[in-house]
Amino acid sequence: MTDTKRKLRSEAWFGGEGKNAFMHRSWMKNQGIPADAFDGRPVIGICNTWSELTPCNAHLRALADHVKRGVYEAGGLPLEFPVMSLGESNMRPTAMLFRNLVSMDVEESIRGNPIDGVILLVGCDKTTPALLMGAASCNLPTITVSGGPMLNGKFRGQDIGSGTHVWKFAEEVKAGRMPVADFLAAEQGQSRSAGSCMTMGTASTMASMVEALGIGMPDNAAIPAVDSRRGVLAQMAGRQIVELVRRDVKISDILTRQAFENAIRVNGAIGGSTNAVLHLIAIANRVGVDLSLEDWDRLGRDVPTIVDLMPSGRFLMEDFYYAGGLAAVMASLDEVGLLHRDVMTVSDKTIGALIDGAPNYNREVIRPLSEPLTEQGGISILRGNLAPNGAVIKPSAATPGLMQHRGKAVVFENIEHYYARIDDPELDIDASSVMVLKNCGPRGYPGMAEVGNMPLPAKLLKQGVSDMVRISDARMSGTAYGTVVLHVAPEAAAGGVLALVHDGDLIELDVAGRRLELLVSDEELAIRRRDWKPPAPPEGGYQSLYVERVLQADKGCDFDFLVGRRDAGIPRHSH
């Protein structure tokens, strides 16, 4: 029996002796659920993104069982439900296209069903923001449980990182330094267990953001997927969500302004993915917190990167967990006053209480603040006539010598043009050039795909060139690296100045000065704009809705009609 005194939301479905309660209980009983399960105890929805088409999430069915065990132990009724699963590895044209759609699926699934609190089971990177966005709009008690990273990749005596070594090895093949047979032999060694990317890609970044925000249990960021402690975490989350429901601790009580400020600083310290910028802005705007690119630059620009992980550094997530995980990183930030200690978490403890005395077992993996991987590791926000509404760059993954650069543009009108042109031996390009990729933003791709890393031309790779300045309205995989300016807003397809760049135009990048300038006169740009035509919109279907209603990158790429909280009142009866 529950000790809950207030009437729970689920009782509007299951409570009483009337016709509607009879129907709701009767149909649920066909699953073998006993009558006393509907005695007013908390009903916990387990929102599961399990799918065999999403390799990073293929183990979440088993993890859900651990959550259920914890819910039962705490006196709740767990009910698992599926939502569309998003995996960057298989989904085309990009999983980002469907992030907002999944958030709608989550929001309406929660609101329309007899749910008092929810556990979000997430893994591959877009599932984390999608589920948090949907849950934030409903504002019920919520805990996020990440699936965890894979074990370290292994190939011929070295550790290899998912994503990161794909880009490295592919460039080695293009340069003629790695046989194709060796490249193919690395496939199984890179992905040798269940879980998501074990580099500090977007999946691990977002799992870290979950922990930093306080919306996940301690150690959510780094426990490997196949470590038994991941199951323990899930079980503890199952127990804790019942307690949050009993005390009516809503997601908005956790996702406060101070929590997002903590997360931004943590992202800089771990060398987190640029994709976190989009996702945290979208999540914050759903819960009612005004978060902007200026916040990212102001709060994160002076945070040193102290986690030496690929793609910025040397190690992998398994090493990070053994070294002390995110608590050790946050403890270092706290020592110099960079965290809000009194932010409450779903564990019933403040951030300060959770990280006090957190040990660092390996100061190579988690460096001291006095010996950072990068002095200024936070995401840098650039502005100028080429990106009046902002663009982002990740300094920890960039080449220091290219952070201030002027070069001639080599323009690719879209991703097909890039692939058709990049290895043309007659292409006029050298190491000082600036590669520009257009029409790959929210509207342009559509969906803002992870194509912004733009592998270098083979002829330059063979000359030993390893990095160049690249600029795009696209995203980049969090596992990738290089001096890449992304999320240019407005995008080319929306008529941004990026659409007007021509081959040979001079572009100036000044990361320290936060500037990105196209050195072309306003008069010339006005002439070019008269000749510019927007791309044809998609013909019907979801993509048509997406292109019509998606916000630009600086606003988080949410749909304009989804921003804000709608909460989870009791809908009308269905009969």
| Per-domain boundaries in the chain | 40-150+192-353, 152-187, 379-534
- Torsion (CA) 237, 243, 244, 247 in degrees, nearest 10: -170
At residue 391 the predicted structure's pLDDT band, cuts being 50, 70 and 90, is: very high
For residues 361-378, b (16+ Cβ closer than 10 Å) or e, as one string?
A: eeeebbbeeeebbbebbb
Mean pLDDT of 356-369: 98
What tokens does 420 get? 């058709």
Q: What is the pLDDT of residues 304-352, one digit of tens each?
A: 999 999 998 999 999 999 999 999 999 999 999 999 999 999 999 999 9
pLDDT band, very low/low/confident/very high, at 1 (cuts 50, 70, 90): very low
The whole model's pTM is what? 0.96
Q: Tell me the two tokens of residue 102.
A: 């999944």
Secondary structure E strands in 419-496: 434-437, 469-472, 484-489
Tokens of 126: 């877009």
Predicted local confidence at residue 4, as pLDDT? 46
Smallest CA-to-CA distance from 292 within 561, 566, 560, 552 is with 552
Kindly state which CATH superfamily the domain 379-534 is placed in.
IlvD/EDD C-terminal domain-like (3.50.30.80)
CATH 3.40.50.2300 is right for the domain spanning 40-150+192-353: yes
What is the C-alpha to C-alpha distance for residues 143 and 120, in angstroms, rounded to an integer?
6
Tokens 């019509």, residue located: 548
Residue given tokens 């070294």 in the structure block: 323
Mean predicted confidence (pLDDT) in 441-451: 97
The encoded tokens of residue 549 equal 């209603």
Residue 280 structure tokens: 């945290």
Q: CB of 475 within 8 A of CB of 96?
A: yes
Give me the pLDDT at residue 517, please: 98
Is 157 strand, coil or helix?
coil
Cα–Cα distance, 218 to 175 (Å, whole number) = 44
